[in-house]
């Protein structure tokens, strides 16, 4: 029987860090690593399986037989390791684990595998990448592009359905490195956000049920091909945000569940270790080695794949013990309340580790509750994220827009309410994939009225979004008014761009991105109340809002007027603080966007007529269902 040669990548200090949960580069040690030992080519394997009494590497090199047994370390770490000659890049393998628990035998993919077989096949693949990055300029200067005082207009993308080939097959990472990069650049988005690209077995999960935490999905190509896509985005000045899922994982037989015949990665108590919504398992955040696994994984994508930010999925489900649970299905913490103290501690450690190890990156929370200080530093009691999705704004805004404009005067408080809390966090305004599935309809068809009003409402929605404080996120297809719900199994409806109303929406979003990037008043103070001032939020009868967005320099200030009805507001008087002339720089009703063309073509004079509590004022025309921006 072929043996496994004794070899180790672990020092005693590595083991100490791992057991204390402080080893944040475990991907350099655990997993499979092609190398040469004593002049012999082969692969070093290492896996954590403390409840095992034997671990074998089985694969195509030994006909999936138990011929190569790993050696358990003597230090009680639960790590099994060894060097197998004659294996290398491309070798298919799994770990066959014989447990001490009731003789359970599991056959598992490598949690640290750098590559996986194309689903539905489930083996890990020994991988050794050789990629030369060309994004030095971006990486050296990204702090100036990725800071909280920079514009963030994010294009959220599901790689499997952004665009498909004529036979409905996937585009590859390499093809996307041309098509997608050129499109995002042309549309003037500042960042792309990829829905999970880590390996996942089940397409309908959209990638949110991961089995290969360290492997880009093989659906679209190799790990180096994905690096090429990131590299090309960076070379074109576009930041890359990756969706990351530390909240739960699926029960697939080859995955992390019951890994060594014990609850190794998941919490052993089903009240804390099983997610009723997603029928999935929840990580044991109190276990040091699990924390090290997850933090190492976060750092891996920032380190090895040059990601600029991680958007952390389903944070609320991690923070609360009673999330989606009925009475009796959860147990309070030691203080008798519903906060998951171990998960909160983990999230803080995660964010501190990320910001300590990388410059110019962001951590973004998808967190749907009123948990306080999500985007505030750990040092003052916060969770330590850089930004948080503003789910309340998204819900309130879409509820408001659902109203027939004739009734909106009764709902003015719904559209203004966000300003009472918008500066409590560093908020990103998201119209994400979640808003265009499961019968919710597309954004376009969530707008009321006939076709003209629907498109005008959508232009108004985007104009309001881009002038509201906060970073921006649009899910793919929203930028041209996709009319059907998102279908993960097919391409976006690109054929709609042959129609002027849809190409008009696309031009509008492109120009809003340009406006947002070019006007500091819209981003320099987007997370502080110093960057916003109401002129008037009380004109219920006309359903009009007027406000100021402020930059560092007063000369950059912008005046915004929004009309939420289809009635043209002629000679509408707005209070102004100082004398001068104002010019319209943007109008969502411009004919080039499919609007009616009710624009203010000449300079607007400020008059000495007191209005809105100001000593001066001016008159302008506010278009039907439109937004006007003045400078």
Pairwise CA distance, residues 122 & 80, whole Å: 21
- Exactly one of 243, 260, 289, 313 is catalytic; name it: 313
User: How far are the Cα atoms of 420, 542, 546, 547, 613 from residue 536, in angstroms, in the given order?
Assistant: 15, 12, 5, 7, 9
Give me Rg for the CA atoms of the chain. Answer: 27
Long-range contacts of 176-184 (CB under 8 A, 24+ apart): 176/220, 176/229, 177/225, 177/228, 177/229, 177/231, 177/232, 178/232, 180/229, 181/229, 181/232, 181/233, 181/236, 181/238, 184/155, 184/233, 184/236, 184/238
Pairwise CA distance, residues 355 & 598, whole Å: 48
Long-range contacts of 224-227 (CB under 8 A, 24+ apart): 224/129, 224/130, 224/131, 225/172, 225/173, 225/174, 225/177, 226/173, 226/197, 226/305, 227/129, 227/131, 227/133, 227/305, 227/306
Could you count the other beta carbons within 10 Å of the beta carbon of residue 524? 21
Contacts (Cβ under 8 Å, ≥6 apart) of 310: 241, 242, 243, 244, 298, 301, 302, 354, 361, 362, 363, 364
Residue pair 505/496 in contact (Cβ under 8 Å)? The answer is: no
Spacing of C-alpha 412 from chain mean position:
31
Pairwise CA distance, residues 303 & 43, whole Å: 23
Closest to 108 measured CA to CA, from 45, 26, 180, 39: 45
The question of whether 479 is a catalytic residue gets the answer no
Helix (H, G, I), strand (E, B) or coil at 520: helix
Pairwise CA distance, residues 224 & 33, whole Å: 16
Helix (H, G, I), strand (E, B) or coil at 37: strand
Pairwise CA distance, residues 80 & 260, whole Å: 12
The question of whether 434 is a catalytic residue gets the answer no
Closest to 319 measured CA to CA, from 351, 352, 343: 343
Pairwise CA distance, residues 157 & 230, whole Å: 13
- Exactly one of 366, 435, 479, 557 is catalytic; name it: 366
Residue pair 125/91 in contact (Cβ under 8 Å)? The answer is: yes
Could you count the other beta carbons within 10 Å of the beta carbon of residue 344? 17
Closest to 429 measured CA to CA, from 366, 476, 486: 366
Pairwise CA distance, residues 82 & 471, whole Å: 48
Residue pair 81/71 in contact (Cβ under 8 Å)? The answer is: yes
Pairwise CA distance, residues 198 & 195, whole Å: 9
Pairwise CA distance, residues 547 & 23, whole Å: 49
Helix (H, G, I), strand (E, B) or coil at 45: strand
Q: Which residues are catalytic?
A: 313, 366
């Amino acid at each position: 029987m072929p043996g496994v040669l004794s070899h180790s990548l672990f020092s005693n200090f590595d083991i100490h860090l791992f057991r204390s949960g402080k080893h944040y580069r475990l991907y350099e040690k655990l997993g499979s690593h092609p190398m040469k030992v004593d002049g012999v080519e082969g692969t070093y394997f290492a896996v954590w399986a403390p409840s095992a009494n034997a671990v074998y590497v089985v694969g195509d090199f030994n006909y999936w037989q138990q011929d190569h047994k790993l050696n358990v370390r003597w230090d009680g770490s639960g790590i099994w390791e060894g060097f197998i000659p004659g294996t290398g890049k491309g070798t298919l393998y799994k770990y066959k684990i014989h447990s001490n628990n009731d003789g359970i035998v599991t056959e598992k993919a490598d949690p640290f595998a750098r590559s996986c077989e194309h689903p539905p096949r489930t083996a890990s693949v020994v991988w050794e990448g050789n990629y030369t990055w060309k994004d030095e300029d971006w990486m050296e200067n990204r702090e100036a592009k990725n800071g909280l005082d920079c514009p963030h207009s994010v294009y959220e993308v599901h790689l499997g359905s952004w665009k498909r080939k004529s036979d409905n097959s996937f585009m590859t990472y390499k093809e996307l490195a041309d098509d997608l990069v050129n499109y995002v650049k042309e549309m003037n988005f500042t960042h792309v956000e990829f829905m999970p690209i880590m390996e996942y077995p089940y397409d309908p999960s959209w990638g949110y049920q991961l089995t290969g935490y360290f492997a880009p999905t093989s659906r679209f190509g190799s790990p180096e091909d994905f690096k090429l896509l990131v590299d090309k985005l960076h070379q074109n000045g576009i930041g890359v945000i990756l969706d990351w899922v530390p909240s739960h994982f699926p029960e697939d037989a080859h995955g992390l569940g019951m890994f060594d015949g014990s609850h190794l990665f998941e919490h052993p108590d089903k009240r804390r270790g099983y997610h009723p919504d997603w029928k999935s398992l929840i990580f044991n955040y109190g276990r040091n080695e699990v924390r090290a696994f997850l933090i190492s994984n976060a750092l891996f994508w920032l380190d090895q794949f040059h990601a600029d930010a991680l958007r952390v999925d389903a944070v609320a489900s991690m923070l609360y013990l009673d999330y989606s649970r009925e009475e009796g299905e959860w147990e309070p913490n030691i203080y008798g309340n519903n906060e998951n103290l171990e998960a909160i501690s983990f999230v803080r450690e995660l964010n501190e580790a990320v910001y300590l190890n990388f410059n110019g990156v962001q951590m973004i929370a998808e967190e749907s509750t009123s948990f306080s200080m999500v985007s505030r530093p750990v040092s003052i009691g916060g969770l330590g994220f850089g930004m948080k999705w503003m789910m309340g704004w998204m819900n309130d805004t879409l509820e408001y827009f659902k109203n027939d404009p004739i009734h909106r005067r009764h709902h003015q408080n719904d559209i203004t309410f966000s300003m009472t809390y918008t500066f409590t966090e560093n908020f990103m305004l998201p119209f994400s994939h979640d808003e265009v599935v499961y019968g919710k309809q597309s954004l376009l068809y969530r707008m009321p009225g006939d076709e003209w009003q629907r498109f005008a409402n959508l232009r108004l929605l985007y104009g309001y979004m881009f002038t509201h404080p906060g970073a921006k996120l649009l899910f793919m297809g929203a930028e041209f008014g996709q009319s059907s719900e998102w279908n993960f199994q097919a391409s976006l409806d690109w054929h709609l761009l042959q129609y002027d109303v849809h190409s008009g929406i696309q031009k509008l979003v492109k120009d809003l991105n340009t406006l947002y990037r070019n006007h500091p008043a819209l981003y320099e103070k987007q997370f502080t109340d110093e960057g916003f001032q109401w002129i008037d939020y009380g004109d219920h009868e006309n359903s009009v809002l007027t406000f100021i967005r402020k930059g560092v320099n007063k000369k950059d200030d912008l005046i915004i007027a929004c009309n939420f009805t289809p009635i043209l507001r002629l000679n509408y008087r707005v209070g102004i603080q100082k004398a001068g002339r104002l010019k319209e720089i943007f109008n969502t009703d411009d004919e080039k966007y499919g609007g009616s063309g009710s624009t203010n073509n000449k300079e607007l004079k400020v008059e000495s007529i007191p209005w809105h509590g100001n000593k001066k004022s001016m008159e302008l025309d506010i278009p039907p269902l439109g937004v006007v921006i003045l400078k």
